[in-house]
Amino acid sequence: MPQTSRETHTHPPTAAAGSPQPRGRAAHCPEGRFVGRFATTGTVYLVGAGPGATDLITVRGLRILQSADVVLHDALISPEMLLEAAPDAEVVSVGKRGYCVGSTRQEHINEAMVRYARMGKSVCRLKCGDPCVFGRGGEEAEMLVHAGVPFQIVPGVTSAVGVCAAAGIPLTHRDAGQAVALVTGHHDPDSSDCTLDWNSLARMPAVVFYMAVRHVTKIAARLSSSGLSPDTPVAVIESGTLIRQRVHVATLGTIGVVTECAAVTGPAVFVVGEIVRFRDKLMALASGGLESAVPLVNENRGLAPTARRKSQGVST
C-alpha cells in the first residue's frame, strides 16, 4: 500500500483561529444531492460499518467513507476499513471502549461533527454495527437537528444479526425463535442504572445482549431467577466475523465459568435461547466445517480493491 498524506488524530483537534476553508471535494449523496464545494454547511453521514469484518459494510456506507472529507470513527473500526478513506481525508479516532479510561467524551464528538460540517466539509461518522442500535445514532441525529446541521443515517448490519449469522446461529427460526430481543448488557444488573424487565426477557424465545462480557454471570443468574431453565443453551461470540472469532457454547447455568476459563474479552455478544442449538446442527451437516455451511464473509467480489486485499475472514 503506497504511503499517503492522510492526516490522522486520536482525538478531535480543537478549532484554530483562521482555520483554512474546506478543500472543496464534494461527497456524493445517494439521493443525488452533492455537498461540499458550494455548501455553507456540510452534511454529516451517520454510517454503520457493520459487525466487524471489513467487507460487511454496505455499498452506500463504503461510497460515503471513500468520498468524505473527514472520517470520525469508533475505536473498534478496523484499520483495514479506514484504508478505504480518501488519501487526503482527515481521519480522527473518537472511540469509546466500554469502561476504558481515555475514551472520547460524547460532547467532544458532537462538537467535532458540528464544527467540521460548519466548515463546509462532508463528515463520515463511522460507527460499529448499525448507528441506531446501541450506537448513539439517535442521540447524535437529535443533536445535529438542534444544531441545524444536515445529516443522513446510513444503516449497517448490527452486531446481533451479523455476528450470530457468521457463527451459524439464526436469530429467528419457525421452529424455535419467532421473536428476538436485542438488549444492552452494559449496566451491572445489580445497579440502579439497569432497568431491564428480567421476567419479560426470560419469556423471550431468544435474547441477544450487547456489551455484556463483564456481566455474563450476573445476567445468567437474573434470567435463571426469573424462570429460565439453567439448561437453556447460550453462546458468547467473541470478535464475531473476524479471523480471531471464538464461539463459546454452554448453558445458562455454566456460561459464567466457561467465559471465565476462556478469558473472554470484548467485543462480544451473549446469545440466549434454543436458537443456539442450530449451530451444532449446522456444524454436523457441513462437510467442510461451519465456514462451508455459512460462507457469509469469505467472498469479497463486491468490495473495493483495497478492502478486498485486506478483508478478514471468519474462523470458527
- Hey, which residues are catalytic here? 74, 96
Contact between 160 and 66 under an 8 Å Cβ cutoff? The reply is no
The C-alpha cell at 26 is 464534494
Distance CA 269, CA 253 (A): 17
End-to-end CA, the chain: 29
Residue 241, C-alpha cell as written in the block: 466475523
CA dihedral 169, 173, 179, 184 (to 10 degrees): 10
Beta bridge partners of 271: 208, 235
Cα–Cα–Cα angle for 176, 179, 181, rounded to 5 degrees: 120
Q: How far apart are CA 82 and CA 49, in angstroms?
A: 10
| Residue recorded with cell 426470560 | 202
Q: How far apart are CA 292 and CA 47, in angstroms?
A: 30
Cell numbers linked to 146: 438542534
Biggest CA-to-CA distance, the chain: 65
Q: Are 210 and 196 in contact (CB under 8 A)?
A: no
CB-based burial, 99-138: b 16+ in 10 Å, e otherwise: eeeeebeeeebbbbbbbbbebbbbbbbbbbbbbbbbbbbe
Q: Torsion angle of alpha carbons 96, 99, 100, 104, nearest 10°?
A: 30
Neighbours of 249 (CB within 10 A): 18
> Amino acid letter at 218?
K
